[in-house]
Amino acid sequence: MSLFLTQVMNGIGNGAVYASLALALVLIFKTTGILNFAQGEMALYSTYLTWYFADRGLSVWVAIVVSMAISFVLGAGIERVVIRPVEQASPLVLVIVTIGLFLAINSIAQVQFGSEAKHLPRAYPDNTWHPGNVLISADTLVLVGVLALECGLLYLLLQRTKLGLAVRSVASNTESSRLLGVPVGRILMFGWGLSAALGALAGSLAVAASQPALTAASMQSILFFAFAAAALGGFDSTVGAVVGGLIVGVVQSLTTQYFKSLSDIVLVVPFALILVVLMFRPSGLFGTTRVERV
Amino acid sequence: MALLDVVDVSGGYGAGLILHGISFTVRQGEAVVILGANGAGKTTTLRAVSGMIDARGEIVFDGRRILGRRPEQVAAAGIAHVPQGRGTILDLTVEDNLRVGAYPRRDRDVDADLADWYEIFPRLGQRRELPAGGLSGGEQQMLAIARALMGRPKLVLLDEPSLGLAPIVTEDLFRTLGTLNAERGVSMLIVEQNVGLALDLADRGYVLETGRIVVEGSADDLAQNEDVQRAYLGV
């Protein structure tokens, strides 16, 4: 039992990273209707930025904040320069554009930062706690804590500010928002910037927490799981992204522990789960099935 | 001087031209109606004013040229467009819908205006915390009008406000529009199929036929005009 709970806790830690990146995906999907396949590579580039600043002597936490700020600007720039011109194009075109971005950003990161593996210094003591024989690592606590803080701030931003109201309005009805004087273009830039910043946080934490090496392939499996989380939660639900991320993390962790034969193809399990969920709830666990009277 | 001066405007979607050089004006405080059959270009006319389609010619609003501006800039300049189908922001609550309407404003009277609109439309007040997508058609139309006026525009464009509403709801709506026009001096440019109600409300009107204005005059003149009667009033 304690092994089970230990694995659940580990899974929640990993899941917090997926949830964070899934939030970024959902934000962009809600506002622009685009599945951003480049989200992981944007996070990769941001994580390299975090490494860069940490390597220049900033503390990891400060480096993450600086990277988030730069990522916000870069994300907004990508919306303006790359996405805006093809905004009205078919979804297929947009998919190709974001896949192009995926490849481009990945290459830029390799050229700029080199292909050898990077390591972030530890940002906090590597403590563990054993309440009732369940092992809880500092990683898990930090990841979950940061996710909770992130969700709280995001909630305040979206629900309690005029800017957040505009974001929700554009997400729900772009044309109406435009006619009411909401500067839609700037709001979309803000959405992309915000997503890039969330991705920077997710990527940096993933590398800062359990200390895997940072390479050009670091974000790819994380992006898969984040997509899985977003699909599970319902692509248009921020709550769904978080719950989906945690579920995917736990399922992944339990699979690795209990189904050793599946541990090489652990990607399959969350997706099998999603398949089952979507068969019964096509809009995901928290996705909206719109009720509209006409 | 006219509040809105549309001069020789042509435009449409892509290569197809729908408006062929139309000219009309709306003066301060006036309610002006545009009549015409389906496909005459009524909605396109409003969309041209709002900057939603490519158009040529000249549109001057409140002393400023607005042709070529983007819809959000036109809105910020003081033109509120209530689109056909009401443009309800479905996922937002009734109150948030109204707050979006006040987005371009920088003053601090938004809450007072909200209370004001809940008094004019008590049903919106009762439903303020509910998602706007759950409102009935008539309530959504009230919401659309209140939302547009939350921005304190100088001119409101109304595209088929009666569409999909029961006759009694429509009459009620036009009474409210008449009150807003008479008592608050809200200038209006209305496109409407219900010609009788529209001419009752309006000061002046224009008849649009395949993208050209063929008749214009006071609302009374139009109501007496034999062509208008035959074509739109079923007399």
Q: Where are the domains of chain B?
A: 1-78+154-169+187-235, 88-152
Any chain A CB within 8 A of the CB of B138?
no
pLDDT at B233: 64
User: What residues of chain A, 156 to 175, have a C-beta less than 8 Å from chain B?
Assistant: 162, 165-166, 168-169, 171-173, 175
* Distance (Å, whole) CA A43 – CA A197: 8
Contact between A95 and A36 (Cβ < 8 Å) = no
Any chain B CB within 8 A of the CB of A289?
no
Structure tokens at A57: 């002597």
What mean pLDDT comes out for the span A114-138? 88
CA distance B55 to chain A (A): 17
Least confident of A102-106, A281-285, B41-45, B164-168: A281-285
More confidently predicted of A283 and A104: A104
pLDDT tens across the length of chain B (235 residues)? 799 999 999 998 877 899 999 999 999 999 999 998 888 899 999 999 999 999 999 999 999 999 999 999 999 999 999 999 899 999 999 999 999 999 999 999 999 999 999 999 999 999 999 999 999 999 999 999 999 999 999 999 999 999 988 999 899 999 999 999 999 999 999 999 888 899 999 999 999 999 999 999 999 999 888 878 777 766 5
What does DSSP assign to residue B24? E
* Distance (Å, whole) CA B141 – CA A105: 47
What mean pLDDT comes out for the span A40-61? 96
* Distance (Å, whole) CA A249 – CA B6: 60
Any chain A CB within 8 A of the CB of B29?
no
Question: Tokens 């995906």 identify what position?
Answer: A25
**pTM for the complete prediction?**
0.90
Beta-carbon pairs below 8 A across chains A and B = 86
Helix (H) / strand (E) element for B145: namely helix B137-150
What mean pLDDT comes out for the span A232-255? 91
* Distance (Å, whole) CA A150 – CA A51: 21
pLDDT at A294: 46
pLDDT at B235: 52
In terms of C-beta density within 10 A (0-12 exposed, 13-18 middle, 19 or more buried), how is residue B183 classed? exposed
Is A210 a residue whose pLDDT tops 80? no
Domain boundaries, chain A: 2-280
Any chain A CB within 8 A of the CB of B99?
yes
Cα-based distances in Å from B184 to A133, A271, B81: 72, 59, 18
Helical segments of chain A, H only: 2-32, 39-55, 60-78, 91-113, 138-160, 162-172, 174-179, 184-209, 220-233, 238-258, 268-280
User: What residues of chain B, 162 to 191, have a C-beta less than 8 Å from chain A?
Assistant: 164
B122 phi and psi, to 5 degrees?
A: -55, -30
Provide the pairing of β-strand B187-191 with B155-159: parallel
* Distance (Å, whole) CA B35 – CA B16: 22
Contacts of B80 in chain A (CB under 8 A): 179-180
Question: Does the domain spanning A2-280 belong to CATH 1.10.3470?
Answer: yes
Cα-based distances in Å from B69 to A192, B55, B65, B97: 25, 11, 9, 24
Any chain A CB within 8 A of the CB of B81?
yes
Q: Do A176 and B87 touch (CB under 8 A)?
A: yes
Is A230 a residue whose pLDDT tops 80? yes
Q: Which of A23, A2, A14 is nearest to A144 (CA)?
A: A14
Model ipTM value: 0.91
The overall average pLDDT reported for chain A is 91
Cα-based distances in Å from A271 to A99, A199, B123, B191: 21, 22, 46, 51
Q: Do A181 and B135 touch (CB under 8 A)?
A: no
Cβ neighbors of A31 (< 8 A, separation 6 or more) are A167, A170, A171, A187, A188, A191
* Distance (Å, whole) CA A56 – CA A88: 42
Contacts of A184 in chain B (CB under 8 A): 72
Assign domain B1-78+154-169+187-235 one CATH number from 3.20.20.370, 3.40.50.300, 3.40.50.10440, 3.40.50.410.
3.40.50.300
Structure tokens at B208: 């649009």
Any chain A CB within 8 A of the CB of B111?
no
Amino acid code (one letter) for A161: T
Nearest CA in chain A to B150: A180
